[in-house]
């Protein structure tokens, strides 16, 4: 049997797809797995912030089309790129164990939010990161930064940026360690929904035997709560939101955040409950933060 995995062509996306390929081949030695590289809209437009060009789905739509047209059998996505609503006929068939979800501050000099010079130029195109950095350090000068990890590190080295913020998971997966780095605590920068996790998307009802061997239920519970949180808020890339689930035994803890892009208003909360209630925990925490003041932020941003 031959399985075709659809993936983006970036170094990190290929690492992730090969990681899944190796897991499948190790667990099912008779299978032949081949990667099919597909260019997405997000890969083609590199000179504009994601929030300005459509946000969610930019890195998955073309791969989902290949799935629906049966040109590939499985898609490997970064979970944080996957919209909360999937096209009819497609499902997230498995979520493997999650890599560390944290954000990482990378600097030319000392990598610490407190030690960056006043007015330091920090590169990120994420409104979520921008809002939390400015909440902590209103003096920072946030500069737009797109591109793959190699490009972002190169821009830090070659331009007047003082620091950049990227996902720790990608840096670990690619083994990059060329500059001073520090993991940001959840109090400094709560991660994006799904950060560090992979989504294996397939056509409904297909490949179930393979998928169940790759699936990690604890990661699924965290992701389910985070995505329910995002879905309840409305999930626009224009709104700075963050959430992170954690599992201990049979209990799930979800931390969430809604912030204004300038970091002047930040609403945080936490909710706990049994793993089986992951979806409810996410929705209820979102509602709590909307009631606290998050709805006002969203209305101001979207003009609603």
CATH number at residue 134: 3.40.190.10
Q: Based on the domain organization, do 267 and 224 belong to the same domain? A: yes
Structural domain that includes position 252: 217-304
Domain count, the chain: 3
State residue 48's pLDDT score: 57
Q: Is 162 a catalytic residue?
A: no
Handedness of CA 49, 101, 88, 209 (dihedral sign): positive
**Is 190 within the bounds of a domain?**
no
Q: Based on the domain organization, do 211 and 64 belong to the same domain? A: yes
Q: Based on the domain organization, do 76 and 111 belong to the same domain? A: no
Q: Based on the domain organization, do 51 and 118 belong to the same domain? A: no
User: Tens-digit pLDDT profile for the chain (304 aa)?
Assistant: 789 999 999 999 999 999 999 999 998 888 899 999 998 876 666 555 555 545 567 789 999 999 999 999 999 999 999 998 999 999 999 999 999 999 999 999 888 999 999 999 999 989 999 999 999 999 999 999 988 898 999 999 999 999 999 999 999 999 988 889 999 999 999 999 999 999 999 999 999 889 999 999 999 999 999 999 999 998 677 899 999 999 999 999 999 999 999 999 999 999 999 999 999 999 999 999 999 999 999 999 888 5
**Is 201 within the bounds of a domain?**
yes
User: What Cα–Cα distance (Å) separates residue 160 from each residue in 13, 120, 124, 127, 157?
Assistant: 28, 10, 14, 21, 8
Q: Based on the domain organization, do 173 and 245 belong to the same domain? A: no
Query: DSSP 3-state assignment of 266?
Result: strand
Burial of residue 119, with CB atoms counted within 10 A of its CB: 0-12 exposed, 13-18 middle, 19 or more buried: exposed
* Angle between helix 217-233 and 278-289 (nearest 10): 30
Q: Based on the domain organization, do 115 and 256 belong to the same domain? A: no
Q: Based on the domain organization, do 72 and 206 belong to the same domain? A: yes
Which is catalytic among the residues 73, 81, 103, 162? 81
Q: Based on the domain organization, do 30 and 170 belong to the same domain? A: no
Q: Based on the domain organization, do 13 and 41 belong to the same domain? A: yes
């Amino acid at each position: 049997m031959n399985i075709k995995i659809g993936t983006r062509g970036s170094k990190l996306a290929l690492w992730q797809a090969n990681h899944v390929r190796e897991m499948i081949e190790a667990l099912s030695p008779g299978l032949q797995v081949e990667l099919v590289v597909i260019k997405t809209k997000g890969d083609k437009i590199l000179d504009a912030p994601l929030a300005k060009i459509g946000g969610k789905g930019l890195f998955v739509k073309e791969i989902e089309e290949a799935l629906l047209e049966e040109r590939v059998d499985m898609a490997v996505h970064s979970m944080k790129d996957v919209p909360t609503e999937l096209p009819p006929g497609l499902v997230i068939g498995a979520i493997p164990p999650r890599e560390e979800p944290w954000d990482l501050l990378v600097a030319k000099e000392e990598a610490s939010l407190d030690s960056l010079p006043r007015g330091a130029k920090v590169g990120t195109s994420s409104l979520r990161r921008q809002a939390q950095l400015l909440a902590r350090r209103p003096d920072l000068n946030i500069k737009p930064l797109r591109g793959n990890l190699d490009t972002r590190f190169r821009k830090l080295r070659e331009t007047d940026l003082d620091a950049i913020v990227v996902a720790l998971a990608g840096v670990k997966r690619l083994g990059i360690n060329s500059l001073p780095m520090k993991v940001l605590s959840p109090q400094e920068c709560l991660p994006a929904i799904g950060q560090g996790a992979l989504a294996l998307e397939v056509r409904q009802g297909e490949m179930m035997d393979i998928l169940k061997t790759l699936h990690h239920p604890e990661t699924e519970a965290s992701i389910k709560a985070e995505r329910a949180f995002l879905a309840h808020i409305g999930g626009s890339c224009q709104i700075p939101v963050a959430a992170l689930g954690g599992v201990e035994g049979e209990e799930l803890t979800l931390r969430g955040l809604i912030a204004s892009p300038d970091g002047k208003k930040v609403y945080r909360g936490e909710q706990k409950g049994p793993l089986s209630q992951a979806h409810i925990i996410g929705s209820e925490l979102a509602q709590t933060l909307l009631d606290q003041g998050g709805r006002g932020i969203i209305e101001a941003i979207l003009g609603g």
